[in-house]
Amino acid sequence: MRYCSDCGEPVRLMVPEGDNRPRFVCPSCSTIHYQNPNIVTGCIVEAEDKILLCKRAIEPRYGLWTLPAGFMENNETAQQGAARETMEEAGAETSVGELYSCFNLPHISQVYLLFRATLAQPGFSAGSESLQVALFSENEIPWNELAFPVIEETLKLYFSDQKKGDFKAHSGTIKRISSDTREYHTEINY
């Protein structure tokens, strides 16, 4: 951020009075511009005892597999966003159920909210952001071709719960250790 989005004057990075961290502040109109984490919302679609994955047609991680998910929009619920992303990326109409995983990605200031879901209508097809959409059982999952650690961790928790016959909400944190390598530290709290 270089300019005030309210008045167009250059902003300064400073700790506002009564605050304890630097914010972009406009010296001209006094607006404080807060920047906060974004929510990524998506679905674990269960069909025919399998899970629906999308092969990414966009960067980052082009050609790798992911759960349908994307940035939550203003004025929608996380569940509506999860269903919307699943329709956009996988052409699938879903009934969104329980919140299954809540993962912090503090290095990129994102929180993933992934919901269990079922197909409300049969059928699915690759949207413009996907090369392919398919259903996978646990031993068919392309574990070495998953796009993001948060997807791998969620699927591992899911299949572990499935074996126990007891699904519960999980939370944890995945932090990138180095910006040069794709190395992460994962902490599952629950």
Q: Which residues bind a copy of itself (CB under 8 A)?
A: 1-11, 18, 21, 33-39, 71-80, 97-99, 102, 104, 106-107, 109, 111, 113, 128, 168-169, 171, 173, 189-190
Closest among 64, 63, 81 to 72, alpha carbons compared: 81
Q: Is 66 helix (H, G, I), strand (E, B) or coil?
A: strand
Q: Is 13 helix (H, G, I), strand (E, B) or coil?
A: strand
Cβ distance to a copy of itself smaller for residue 20 or 139: 20
Cβ distance to a copy of itself smaller for residue 22 or 142: 22
Cβ distance to a copy of itself smaller for residue 109 or 137: 109
CB of 142 vs a copy of itself, minimal distance in Å: 27
CA dihedral (2, 175, 71, 129) positive or negative: positive
CB of 72 vs a copy of itself, minimal distance in Å: 5
- Rounded to whole angstroms, how far apart are CA atoms 123 and 182? 35
Residue 8 CB coordination number (10 Å): 10
CB of 137 vs a copy of itself, minimal distance in Å: 26
Cβ distance to a copy of itself smaller for residue 64 or 72: 72
Token representation of residue 116: 């269990």
Cβ distance to a copy of itself smaller for residue 2 or 164: 2
Token representation of residue 144: 């070495």
CB of 74 vs a copy of itself, minimal distance in Å: 4
Contact present, 141 and 51 (Cβ < 8 Å)? yes
CB of 138 vs a copy of itself, minimal distance in Å: 24
Q: In sequence order, which residues have a C-beta less than 8 Å from that of residue 104 and are 6 or more positions away?
A: 110, 111, 172, 173, 174
